C-alpha cells in the first residue's frame, strides 16, 4: 500500500472503481450502498464506479480474478487496489483507496 | 435441475441401488474405488506435500478429457504454468486440451489488499458454473482448497461457505474433487474436518520415508453408499502418472497352471512330479552359497534352450557376475543374454523405493513379455524398506506374474537351523506353489548339500532328501545313503558305499568257493556211486557163479542119491548139506 501512497494524484484524477457483487445477497447490498455513499460524499465527480454482478457476468470475474464477493477494485492505480468484504468501515475503505479524509 | 437436487440430497435410497460413478481412469484407482468417484458428488483427497494429490487432480481431469469429458482445474496454490509444467513431465499436453476446450486451468489467487466485512465465494462458483456450461464440463478439481479458506477468520464462516459450495456444485451436476493437506489438529485448521464430513468419498495419500526409502500409500477412508478396498495401497508417481496395484481384485484373475517345464535338472524334475508348472511360483530356499542361484540359472538355461524368454532380476549380483559365476559350473547364460532371450536387471534395493522399482519391473515385463522370471533373492527385497515394504512388493509382483501366467523362480536366503521356518519368506507363502529347500549337512568334518521338495502344489512329489552336487560339469542330484545313523552324503556316503562294495565282493567270493565245493562234492558222490556200482556188479557176478555151483552140486547130489538108491555108490550122504551154508553168506554181504 505504501507504493500506492506514492502515486501522485491531483484534482484531475478519476477513481476507476469496479464493484463485483453476487446478485443482491446481503453483503453485496451492503457494499454497494457503502461505496455509492462514499463516492458521492468523498469523490463527487472524480470517480467512475462500475457494478458487476458475477452471477450475470462470470467472465469479468474470471478476467479480474475475482473469487469472492463483494470485491472492490480500484483499477486506476498500478497495481490495482483490491478490497474484499461488505465495506462496512468507510474510514478503512478510504484509507485503503488512498483517499484522504475531508480535511484535506 | 429438480432431479439433480433430489439426487444430491437423498442419502442413497436402498443399499442395493448402485450409485453412479465417474471413472478416474487413473491406473488401479478405479479398482479400489469400485468404479470411480461418486458422480455429481464431492470427493476429497488429503495428502501432504509431495504426496501427489495435485497430480491426482490433474490426471483425473486429463484422462477424463481424453475420454471425452472436459474438466476444470482450479488451483489455489500453484500457478497455471506450474500446473501445465507438472502435467508436461507426464507427457500430458494440457495446452492442446485447453485449445480443444476440454481442459481449463486457473489459478485462484486472492490478492486482497484489505478485508473489510463479510464476503462469499459466489464469484468462484459463478466462474466454475459459467465455464463448465461453456465447455460442457462435469469434472471439477479444486486443488489446495484449504489455502483459499485461510482467508476466512472463523470456522463457522468456512463451514457455511463450504456447504454452499458443495450444494451448488452438486446441483450443477458436477463431480468435484477437492484436495487439501492432511488435517491438523489446530483451531485454525478446524474447518478441514468439515471438508471431510461433507465429502462422499475421502482418500488419504501419504508419502513417508521408511528406512531411508520413500514409500507412498493410498487409502480410501470413506465412501458413502459404496464398497471399496479398505487396505492401504502402495502407489507411485511414474512418468505416466499415478499407478496403483490393488491386490484383492487381481487375485481373482489368476490363471490356472500351464504345462510342466523342466527345472533343467532331470532328477529334480522327478522329485517335483514332472518339473515346475508354467505360471507357478517356485521358491528355492537355502543357506548362503548352497547353489540357489546356480539352480535358478540352470532353469534359465534350459528354458532359453526351448526359446522361452526369461527376465532375470538380480538384487545380489551384477549380471556380469551372475553370468560369470554360473559359467564356472557349465551353465551358459551369456549365449541367451546375447541372443536376447534373457533379459537382466540388477538393482541395489536401497537405490530406489519399492513402489518405483515394482512399477519399473512391471513396465519392463510388459514390454519384454517373458514366459519366466527369476528373482534373486527375496531376502534382498526387505532392503527396500523393511518387512512391510517387502510384503507389499512381493504380493503385488506375485499377483502380477500369476495374472499373466509367468513362471517365477524365487530364491530366498535362509540361515540357521530354523531355516525351515524361515523359507516362507515375507509372509507370501500362500502364493508360493513349490518350495525346494537346499541345505548343508555337516558330517565327518565336511559340508555337503542336500535337496528336498517341501511343497509342490498340484502334484505328487517326492518327500525324500537327495544329495545335491555342484561340479564343473553342472548340477546333479544323487541318491543318498540311508543307514542307521540317518542320511549320509558326500565322503561318508562314499565310504559307506565302498564298505558295501567290499561286503558284496566277499559274498561273491564265498559263493564261488561254495559253488566249487558243491561241484566237487557232486563229482565225489558220482565217483563213489560208480565204485559201489562196480562192487555190486562184482558181488552179483560172484553170487551168480556161486548159485551156479550150488545148482551143479545139487544136481550132483541128486544124481548121487539116484545112484545110491540104485546102490551104485557105497559112500555116506553128509557132504551136500555142508556146502549149502556158503551161498547164504555171499547174499548177506551183497
Please report the pLDDT score of residue B407 as a whole number: 93
Residues with Cβ within 8 Å of residue B145, at least 6 apart in sequence: B76, B178, B179, B180, B195
Residue A3 resides in a domain: no
Mean per-residue pLDDT, B23-47: 90
Please report the pLDDT score of residue B210 as a whole number: 64
| Residue listed under C-alpha cell 446478485 | A23
Please report the pLDDT score of residue B514 as a whole number: 85
CB atoms within 10 A of CB B21: 19
B355 within 8 A of B216, measured Cβ to Cβ: yes
The 10 Å CB-count burial string (b at 16+, else e) for B357-377 is bbbebbeebeeeebbbbbbbb
Does residue B507 sit in the same domain as residue B450? Answer: no
Please report the pLDDT score of residue B413 as a whole number: 80
| Residue listed under C-alpha cell 494440457 | B94
CB atoms within 10 A of CB B489: 25
Residue A8 resides in a domain: no
Q: CA-to-CA distance for B121 and A27, rounded, in angstroms?
A: 11
Please report the pLDDT score of residue B338 as a whole number: 93
Residue of higher predicted confidence among B484 and B38: B38
Residue B451 has pLDDT above 60, yes or no: yes
Does residue B516 sit in the same domain as residue B471? Answer: no
Domain boundary among B451, B479, B507: B479
Please report the pLDDT score of residue B546 as a whole number: 85
CA neighbours within 13 Å on the CB side: how many for B327? 11
A20·B113 Cβ contact <8 A: no
Please report the pLDDT score of residue A54 as a whole number: 93
Residue B489 resides in a domain: no
Q: How far is B121 from chain A (nearest CA, A)?
A: 4
Residue B344 has pLDDT above 50, yes or no: yes
Residue B11 has pLDDT above 50, yes or no: yes
Residue B374 has pLDDT above 90, yes or no: yes
Residue A83 resides in a domain: yes
Which grid coordinates belong to B450?
542336500
Residue B407 resides in a domain: yes
- Among chain A, residues having any CB pair with chain B shorter than 8 Å are 1, 20, 22-23, 25, 27, 30-31, 54-55, 58-59, 61-62, 65-71, 81-89, 92-93, 96
Does residue B360 sit in the same domain as residue B422? Answer: yes
Residue A71 resides in a domain: yes
> Domain containing B67 — which CATH number?
3.40.50.300
Instruction: Point out which residues pair with A49 in neighbouring strands.
Output: A17
Q: How far is CA B433 from CA B277, B283, B404, B436, B588, in A?
A: 9, 8, 16, 10, 91
Residue B448 has pLDDT above 80, yes or no: yes
Q: CA-to-CA distance for B35 and B27, rounded, in angstroms?
A: 12
Residue A9 resides in a domain: no
CB atoms within 10 A of CB B47: 22
- Measure CA of the first residue to CA of the last residue in chain B; give whole Å: 142
A25·B122 Cβ contact <8 A: yes
Q: Which of B120, B126, B127 to mutate to test the interface with A (most CBs of A within 10 A)?
A: B126
Residue B447 has pLDDT above 70, yes or no: yes
| Residue listed under C-alpha cell 483499477 | A75
Q: Structurally, how many domains does chain A consist of?
A: 1
Confidence of residue B298 (pLDDT cuts 50, 70, 90): very high
B118·A69 Cβ contact <8 A: no
Q: CA-to-CA distance for B516 and B514, rounded, in angstroms?
A: 5
Please report the pLDDT score of residue B238 as a whole number: 80
Structural domain harbouring A52: 15-97
Q: Structurally, how many domains does chain B consist of?
A: 3
B114·A83 Cβ contact <8 A: yes
Q: CA-to-CA distance for B139 and B132, rounded, in angstroms?
A: 9
Q: CA-to-CA distance for B15 and B462, rounded, in angstroms?
A: 52
Confidence of residue B512 (pLDDT cuts 50, 70, 90): confident
Mean per-residue pLDDT, B215-242: 84
Q: CA-to-CA distance for B470 and B512, rounded, in angstroms?
A: 40
Residue B533 CB-density burial (10 A; 0-12 exposed, 13-18 middle, 19+ buried): exposed
Q: How far is B205 from chain A (nearest CA, A)?
A: 28
Does residue B445 sit in the same domain as residue B327? Answer: yes
B54 within 8 A of B179, measured Cβ to Cβ: yes
Q: CA-to-CA distance for B342 and B303, rounded, in angstroms?
A: 10
Confidence of residue B68 (pLDDT cuts 50, 70, 90): very high
Which grid coordinates belong to B326?
554360473
Q: How far is CA B129 from CA A33, A54, A62, B43, B236, in A?
A: 27, 11, 12, 18, 33
Pairing of strands B446-456, B434-443: antiparallel
Residue A102 resides in a domain: no
Q: Among partner residues B111, B121, B123, which is closest to A82 by beta-carbon distance? A: B111
Structural domain harbouring B383: 252-479
Does residue B274 sit in the same domain as residue B389? Answer: yes
Please report the pLDDT score of residue B440 as a whole number: 82
Please report the pLDDT score of residue B134 as a whole number: 93
B178-187, B223-232, B240-249: segment of lowest average pLDDT: B240-249
Residue of higher predicted confidence among B36 and B466: B36
Please report the pLDDT score of residue B454 as a whole number: 79
Residue B328 resides in a domain: yes
Task: Name the DSSP class of B120.
Answer: B
Does residue B502 sit in the same domain as residue B414? Answer: no
Residue A5 resides in a domain: no
Please report the pLDDT score of residue B297 as a whole number: 93
Does residue B409 sit in the same domain as residue B530? Answer: no
Please report the pLDDT score of residue A104 as a whole number: 40
Closest alpha carbon within chain B to A92: B116
Please report the pLDDT score of residue A32 as a whole number: 92
Q: Which of B72, B111, B119 to mutate to test the interface with A (most CBs of A within 10 A)?
A: B119
Q: Among partner residues B116, B123, B126, which is closest to A92 by beta-carbon distance? A: B116
Confidence of residue A2 (pLDDT cuts 50, 70, 90): very low
Residues of chain A positioned with their CB less than 8 A from the CB of B124? 67-68
Q: What is the pLDDT of residues B239-267, one digit of tens each?
A: 888 888 766 544 545 666 778 999 998 88
B117·A69 Cβ contact <8 A: no
Residue B369 has pLDDT above 90, yes or no: yes
Task: Name the DSSP class of B312.
Answer: E
Q: What is the pLDDT of residues B81-131, one digit of tens each?
A: 999 998 999 899 999 999 999 999 999 888 788 888 889 999 999 999 999
Q: Which of A58, A66, A89, A91 to mutate to test the interface with B (most CBs of B within 10 A)?
A: A58
Pairing of strands A15-21, B42-47: unpaired
Mean per-residue pLDDT, B271-282: 88
Does residue B175 sit in the same domain as residue B47? Answer: yes
B390 within 8 A of B354, measured Cβ to Cβ: yes
> Domain containing A20 — which CATH number?
3.40.30.10
Please report the pLDDT score of residue A7 as a whole number: 46
The 10 Å CB-count burial string (b at 16+, else e) for B89-123 is ebebebeebbeeebbbbbbbebebbbbbbbbbbbb
Mean per-residue pLDDT, B393-399: 82
Domain boundary among B246, B276, B311: B246
CA neighbours within 13 Å on the CB side: how many for A16? 7
Residue of higher predicted confidence among B562 and B245: B562
Mean per-residue pLDDT, B167-185: 85
Residue of higher predicted confidence among B359 and B409: B409
A55·B122 Cβ contact <8 A: yes
B124·A68 Cβ contact <8 A: yes
B122·A86 Cβ contact <8 A: no
Measure CA B550 to chain center: 108
Does residue B158 sit in the same domain as residue B34? Answer: yes
A37-41, A98-102, B50-54, B175-179: segment of lowest average pLDDT: A98-102
Question: What is the per-residue DSSP string for B209-256?
Answer: EETTEEEEEEEEEEETTS----S-EEEEEEBTEEEE--STTGGGGPPP
Residue A7 resides in a domain: no
B114·A96 Cβ contact <8 A: yes
Residue B326 has pLDDT above 70, yes or no: yes
Does residue B236 sit in the same domain as residue B260? Answer: no
Q: Which of B35, B56, B34, B32 is nearest to B44 (CA)?
A: B56
Residues of chain A positioned with their CB less than 8 A from the CB of B153? none
Please report the pLDDT score of residue B356 as a whole number: 79
Q: What is the pLDDT of residues A69-88, one digit of tens each?
A: 999 999 888 888 999 999 98
Q: CA-to-CA distance for B33 and B45, rounded, in angstroms?
A: 13
Does residue B389 sit in the same domain as residue B346? Answer: yes
Residue B488 resides in a domain: no
Residues of chain A positioned with their CB less than 8 A from the CB of B106? 62
Q: How far is B123 from chain A (nearest CA, A)?
A: 5
For B303, phi then psi, to 5°, come to: -65, -45
Task: Give the ipTM of the model, two decimals please.
Answer: 0.86
Does residue B441 sit in the same domain as residue B571? Answer: no
Residues of chain A positioned with their CB less than 8 A from the CB of B116? 83-89, 92-93, 96
Confidence of residue B302 (pLDDT cuts 50, 70, 90): very high
Please report the pLDDT score of residue B273 as a whole number: 84
- Altogether, the residues listed in chain B come to a count of 590
- Among chain B, residues having any CB pair with chain A shorter than 8 Å are 106, 108-124, 126-127, 129-131, 148, 151
For A81, phi then psi, to 5°, come to: -100, 135
Q: CA-to-CA distance for A53 and A19, rounded, in angstroms?
A: 8
Domain boundary among B455, B479, B503: B479
Q: CA-to-CA distance for B18 and B13, rounded, in angstroms?
A: 10
Residue B167 has pLDDT above 90, yes or no: no
A62·B116 Cβ contact <8 A: no
Q: How far is CA B183 from CA A19, A78, B187, B224, B450, in A?
A: 35, 38, 11, 20, 57
Please report the pLDDT score of residue A3 as a whole number: 42
A68·B117 Cβ contact <8 A: no
Mean per-residue pLDDT, B372-398: 82
B459 within 8 A of B280, measured Cβ to Cβ: no
Amino acid at each position: 500500500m505504501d507504493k500506492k501512497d506514492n502515486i501522485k494524484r491531483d484534482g484531475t484524477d478519476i477513481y476507476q472503481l469496479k464493484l463485483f457483487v453476487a446478485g443482491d445477497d446481503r453483503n453485496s447490498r451492503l457494499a454497494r450502498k457503502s461505496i455509492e455513499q462514499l463516492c458521492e460524499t468523498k469523490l463527487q465527480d472524480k470517480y467512475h464506479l462500475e457494478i458487476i454482478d458475477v452471477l450475470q457476468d462470470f467472465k469479468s470475474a474470471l478476467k479480474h480474478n475475482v473469487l469472492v464477493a463483494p470485491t472492490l477494485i480500484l483499477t486506476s492505480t498500478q497495481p490495482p487496489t483490491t478490497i474484499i468484504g461488505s465495506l462496512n468501515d468507510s474510514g478503512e475503505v478510504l484509507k485503503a483507496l488512498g483517499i484522504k479524509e475531508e480535511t484535506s | 435441475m429438480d432431479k439433480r437436487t433430489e439426487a444430491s440430497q437423498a442419502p442413497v435410497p436402498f443399499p442395493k441401488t448402485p450409485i453412479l460413478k465417474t471413472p478416474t481412469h487413473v491406473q488401479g484407482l478405479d479398482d479400489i474405488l469400485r468404479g470411480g468417484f461418486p458422480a455429481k458428488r464431492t470427493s476429497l483427497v488429503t495428502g501432504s506435500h509431495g504426496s501427489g494429490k495435485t497430480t491426482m487432480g490433474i490426471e483425473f481431469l486429463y484422462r477424463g478429457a481424453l475420454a471425452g469429458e472436459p474438466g476444470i482445474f482450479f488451483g489455489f496454490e500453484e500457478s497455471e504454468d506450474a500446473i501445465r509444467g507438472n502435467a508436461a513431465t507426464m507427457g500430458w499436453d494440457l495446452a492442446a486440451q485447453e485449445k480443444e476446450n476440454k481442459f481449463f486451468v486457473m489459478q485462484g489467487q486472492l490478492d486482497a489488499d484489505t478485508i473489510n466485512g463479510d464476503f462469499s465465494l459466489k464469484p468462484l462458483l459463478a466462474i466454475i458454473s459459467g465455464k463448465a456450461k461453456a465447455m460442457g464440463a462435469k469434472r471439477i478439481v479444486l486443488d489446495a482448497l484449504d489455502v483459499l479458506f485461510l482467508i476466512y477468520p472463523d470456522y463457522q464462516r468456512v463451514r457455511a461457505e463450504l456447504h454452499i459450495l458443495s450444494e451448488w456444485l452438486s446441483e450443477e451436476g458436477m463431480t468435484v474433487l477437492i484436495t487439501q493437506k492432511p488435517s491438523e489438529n489446530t483451531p485454525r485448521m478446524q474447518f478441514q474436518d468439515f471438508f471431510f464430513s461433507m465429502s462422499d468419498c475421502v482418500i488419504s495419500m501419504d508419502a513417508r520415508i521408511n528406512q531411508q526409502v520413500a514409500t507412498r500409500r493410498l487409502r480410501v477412508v470413506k465412501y458413502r453408499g459404496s464398497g471399496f478396498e479398505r487396505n492401504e495401497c502402495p502407489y507411485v508417481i511414474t512418468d505416466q502418472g499415478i499407478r496403483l496395484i490393488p491386490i484383492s481384485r487381481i487375485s481373482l484373475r489368476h490363471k490356472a497352471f500351464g504345462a510342466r517345464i523342466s527345472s533343467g535338472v532331470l532328477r529334480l524334475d522327478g522329485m517335483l512330479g514332472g518339473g515346475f508348472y508354467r505360471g507357478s511360483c517356485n521358491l528355492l530356499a537355502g543357506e548362503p552359497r548352497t547353489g540357489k542361484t546356480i539352480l535358478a540359472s540352470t532353469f534359465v538355461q534350459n528354458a532359453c534352450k526351448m526359446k522361452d524368454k526369461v527376465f532375470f532380476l538380480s538384487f545380489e549380483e551384477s549380471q556380469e557376475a551372475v553370468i560369470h559365476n554360473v559359467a564356472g559350473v557349465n551353465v551358459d547364460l551369456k549365449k541367451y543374454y546375447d541372443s536376447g532371450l534373457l533379459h537382466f536387471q540388477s538393482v541395489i534395493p536401497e537405490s530406489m523405493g519399492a513402489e518405483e522399482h515394482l512399477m519399473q519391473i512391471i513396465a519392463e515385463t510388459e514390454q519384454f513379455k517373458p514366459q519366466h522370471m527369476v528373482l534373486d533373492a527375496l531376502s534382498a527385497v526387505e532392503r527396500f524398506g523393511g518387512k512391510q515394504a517387502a510384503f507389499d512388493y512381493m504380493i503385488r509382483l506375485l499377483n502380477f506374474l500369476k495374472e499373466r501366467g509367468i513362471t517365477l523362480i524365487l530364491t530366498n536366503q535362509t540361515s540357521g537351523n530354523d531355516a525351515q521356518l524361515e523359507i516362507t519368506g515375507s509372509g507370501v507363502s500362500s502364493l508360493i506353489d513349490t518350495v525346494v529347500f537346499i541345505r548343508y549337512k555337516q558330517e565327518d568334518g565336511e559340508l555337503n548339500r542336500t535337496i528336498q521338495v517341501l511343497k509342490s502344489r498340484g502334484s505328487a512329489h517326492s518327500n525324500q532328501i537327495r544329495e545335491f552336487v555342484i561340479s564343473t560339469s553342472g548340477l546333479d542330484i544323487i541318491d543318498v545313503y540311508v543307514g542307521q545313523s540317518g542320511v549320509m552324503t558326500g565322503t561318508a556316503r562314499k565310504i559307506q558305499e565302498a564298505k558295501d562294495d567290499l561286503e558284496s565282493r566277499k559274498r561273491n567270493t564265498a559263493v564261488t568257493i561254495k559253488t566249487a565245493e558243491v561241484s566237487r562234492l557232486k563229482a565225489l558222490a558220482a565217483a563213489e556211486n560208480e565204485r559201489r556200482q562196480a562192487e555190486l556188479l562184482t558181488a552179483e557176478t560172484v553170487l551168480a557163479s556161486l548159485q551156479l555151483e550150488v545148482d551143479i552140486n545139487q544136481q550132483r547130489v541128486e544124481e548121487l542119491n539116484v545112484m545110491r538108491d540104485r546102490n551104485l555108490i557105497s559112500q555116506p550122504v553128509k557132504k551136500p548139506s555142508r556146502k549149502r551154508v556158503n551161498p547164504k553168506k555171499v547174499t548177506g554181504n551183497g
